[in-house]
Structure 1
Amino acid sequence: MAGHSKFKNIMHRKGAQDAKRAKLFTKLAKEIYVAAKTGGPEPEGNPRLRAAILEARRNSVPKDNIERALKKAQAGGEGEDYEEIRYEGMGPGNVAVIVEALTDNRNRTASEVRSIFSKAGGSLTPVQFNYERVGYISYPLAAGSADAVLEAAIEAGADDVVTNDEEHAIYCGPDMLGEVRSALEASLGEAQTARLDWKALNTAALDEDAARSLFKFLDALEDNDDVQRVFSNEEISDEILEKLG
């Protein structure tokens, strides 16, 4: 399994509790709020908001939660000004990690993220060179066979398609995201996710002990209220995953 952590890691990791589900809902609602406040409340004219709503629906966020976030943004959201910050660092097993956060207190978030890295034996340091910025579009496996999705993606102008046990992941240039998404939706229907992402250019192979430490570290990051997404470039064998599961 190559690491590509997203919102869903919070839900899909073994042993996730209801508390984490509630925290995920809160983070997704925050993204909807910020997207609507900065780019307008209409998804058709606000790609970021459309992506946030898609992600919320994909993770079964109640409709009321989505509408509440939109109404709060339209009302001005007095007292809730969030800043987008990205942190980079090395985690357990020399895994390169990118952390995206939305915070109303830069100093608090920086201190907490730095502490999580430090406790895991890692450190904050530039790692962006290990990644490329891409447009990421996801379809469920039911959307079609790997060959059919690949053909549709090529026709739409995408650069790469990765089909795994969970999804068809389609990648394109960041400036092509809207165009490729529209073309794919004409042939495959609405995507379940469409957003700008970070894609690892290389991976770090981990043994069982390092993998266990990494998962504990990633859980700590994802449990932080200000952290929205975490990207990591680990490579873990199925055998080790089964042992840890």
Structure 2
Amino acid sequence: MNQLSEISWQGLWKNNPALVQMLGLCPLLAVTNTVVNGLGLGLATLFVLIGSNITVSIVRNWVPNEIRIPVFVMIIAGLVTVVQLLMNAYTYELYQTLGIFIPLIVTNCAIIGRAEAFASKNNVKLAAWDGLMMGLGFLAILVILGAIREVLGNGTLLAGSHLLFGQIATNWQITLFQAEEAFLAAILPPGAFIALGLLIAIKNRLETRIESLFAPQKEQKVKTERARVTTET
């Protein structure tokens, strides 16, 4: 459980692929002008990340070290093709909206990075959990960025929910305020750069604050452990 907790902490916060590793920024900045777009791309990336981690973990002992990267890329490309076909069949309008950024998941360094750094060195259970946590961390930032930009740009939230969830979500849109004209600075990629920078600054500030709060406890624990070792010796 301690290992699973550490993987969760790393994926969701400490080593978040978007806020810390700064991976997958091209789709992150390009499609997060609405919550639905960010959620759609995030779910697709999550599926590929979990699937690739599991597959790489299964075959890791049979893949020669010299060709491991091409094999990992082929696995990821196969999973991305599955995602494309599913979205083309069930969420066609959203698939058209996301466009080239769905196949570009193949080149997302966060996915191949986890396959190389973690899945190829651990069992299926840990690899699947790592893929889930890293994927959820990336998904969370996509959704948060989408929410910020959609609210500032259009004054709405969950616009176009039917593109992902079907006709049941037709009335899910929330209008926070009526905007005579869209705020283009928030909708276009420059707005994503600014919003992402603010999120990174907030995360770093919170992390510093958390470390300062727990520093006395850690120091006391270290002193206690040193005193115990000295007594035993």
Whether TM-score is above 0.5 comes out as: no
Larger proportion of strand: 1
Structure showing the higher helix proportion among its residues: 2
TM-score norm. by structure 2 comes to 0.27
TM-score normalized with structure 1 length? 0.26
User: Which has more radius of gyration?
Assistant: 2
Higher-RCO chain (CA-CA 8 Å, sequence separation at least 6)? 2
